Chain A
Amino acid sequence: MNNSIFINIFQILRSILILLAFLYFGKWLQQISHLPIPGSIFGLILLFLTLNLRLIPIHYLLPTGSFLLNYITLFFVPVGVGLLQYSELLSIHWLTIVVSSVVSTIVVLISVGFIYQKLSK
């Protein structure tokens, strides 16, 4: 009983450490490369490659990984509320922003979906 709690804690810590290691390695790569790609994207790519090379088994990541992915939408709430900071900029340019964003988002959604659906299989 006690043992299984320790094993659980160990598994959770291990998954946290792996994710953080990839995140900070990614951030370091971003700093030395000066590319306009965020460290988290570098971390994602490296973790994906590592998983495919079977260097780390997927179940090592699951305790924290599934938790983060389940709640990723919640984490965007403060990002969206952050639009408040830009209310002045947004109110000056709102028409251009709304029209070009809406048109472009619709066009991209349909064209990417349509092209992929035609090309795949």
Chain B
Amino acid sequence: MIYLYLIATVLIFLAAKKLLSPFKTPLANPLLVSILFFIGLFSFTSLNYQDYAIANQAFIWLLEPAVVALAIPLFYQVAQIKAQAFAIIISCGTGVIIAMSSCLSVALLLTDDKTLLLSLLPKSVTSPIAMAIANETGGLASLAAAVVIAVGLLGALGGFSLLKFCKITNPQAQGLAMGCSAHAIGTAKAMEVGSEQGAFSSLALVISGILTAVLAPLFVLLIDIFIPVL
């Protein structure tokens, strides 16, 4: 009967979506509220999280074809993408470098745990890429995945409010910023806001994912300089 958890995921999410729709605050996010509901449920009751995980594998599995389907909004925006190719590459490239260098420099102030630093490095890219990078560099794939999910939620929650506050109102700019900083979870949010935001977020997700995989080894060298191997 554990498959009731699958139905529970749908019902809680749809209920959260319905009940939260009148509230304008970014915290009234159906994804966040549903996640917190289930985390609370398994933390404070004797219900078993493993059963939930098994039952909900179907949704985890559906994420893969859903990522392939992101080609659809991209295709609809292909004219704009071609027209802005230069600006897209420059802003995503800069974004990837800023993502890794800002994360590292702040983390270096707080820790000298090399495994932790290496696991934080790919925090802005989609979790399969982040886990592969962490494996490659000597980070911890599971820690990298956890950080990636947390970062994605953070971007999805606060991203659009922050962008509006900073007068970044161009839908393409908003999409690229979400995809570069909050990968697939940010892209899911961007799809809800608008198809142009969604398409540019998917684009940034792909470009920044690939660039991060290519550039991460350089940042690993930097970590080696700051924290010599013992």
Q: Is A31 among interface residues, defined by CB-CB distance under 8 A?
A: no
A81 to B177, CA, bound (A): 25
A71 to B192, CA, bound (A): 10
Contact A23 to B140, CB < 8 A, known contacts A78-B60, A104-B123, A119-B86: no
Task: With a 10 A CB-CB cut-off, give which of B168, B177, B178 has the most chain A CB atoms.
Answer: B177
Query: Residue of B at shortest CB range from A79?
Result: B149
Q: Which of A42-84 contact B (CB under 8 A)?
A: 43-45, 47-48, 51-52, 58, 61-62, 64-66, 68-69, 71-84
Task: With a 10 A CB-CB cut-off, give which of A71, A74, A109 has the most chain B CB atoms.
Answer: A109
What are the residues of chain B within 8 A of A1 when measuring CB–CB? none
Find A37's partner among B65, B107, B213 (CB 8 Å cutoff): B213
Residues of chain B having any CB pair with chain A under 8 Å: 9-10, 12-13, 30-32, 34-35, 38-39, 42-43, 49, 52-53, 56-57, 59-60, 62-76, 78, 84, 86-88, 90-92, 94-95, 98-99, 102-104, 106-107, 110-111, 113, 116, 120, 123-124, 126-129, 132-133, 135-136, 140, 142-143, 145-147, 149-155, 159, 162-163, 166, 168, 170, 172-174, 176-178, 180-182, 184-185, 187-189, 191-192, 198, 202, 204, 206, 209-210, 213
Query: Residue of A at shortest CB range from B209?
Result: A41
Contact A83 to B102, CB < 8 A, known contacts A37-B209, A76-B188: no
Find B181's partner among A39, A41, A109 (CB 8 Å cutoff): A109
| Residue total for A at the interface (Cβ-Cβ under 8 A) | 70
**Contact indicator B67/A114 (Cβ below 8 Å):** no
Q: Which of A75-114 contact B (CB under 8 A)?
A: 75-86, 89-90, 93, 95-97, 99-114
Residues of chain A having any CB pair with chain B under 8 Å: 19-20, 22-23, 26, 35-41, 43-45, 47-48, 51-52, 58, 61-62, 64-66, 68-69, 71-86, 89-90, 93, 95-97, 99-117, 119-120
What are the residues of chain A within 8 A of B178 when measuring CB–CB? 109
Nearest chain A CB to B185 CB, angstrom units:
6
What are the residues of chain A within 8 A of B198 when measuring CB–CB? 69
Chosen A-B contacts, 19 in total, with CB atoms closer than 8 Å, are A45-B206, A75-B63, A79-B127, A80-B34, A80-B153, A81-B38, A96-B110, A97-B150, A99-B107, A101-B123, A101-B150, A104-B98, A104-B99, A104-B103, A105-B124, A105-B151, A105-B181, A115-B91, A119-B86
What are the residues of chain B within 8 A of A74 when measuring CB–CB? 9-10, 13, 59
Contact A44 to B94, CB < 8 A, known contacts A89-B140, A108-B181, A120-B84: no
**Contact indicator B142/A86 (Cβ below 8 Å):** yes
Nearest chain A CB to B67 CB, angstrom units:
4
Nearest chain A CB to B80 CB, angstrom units:
9
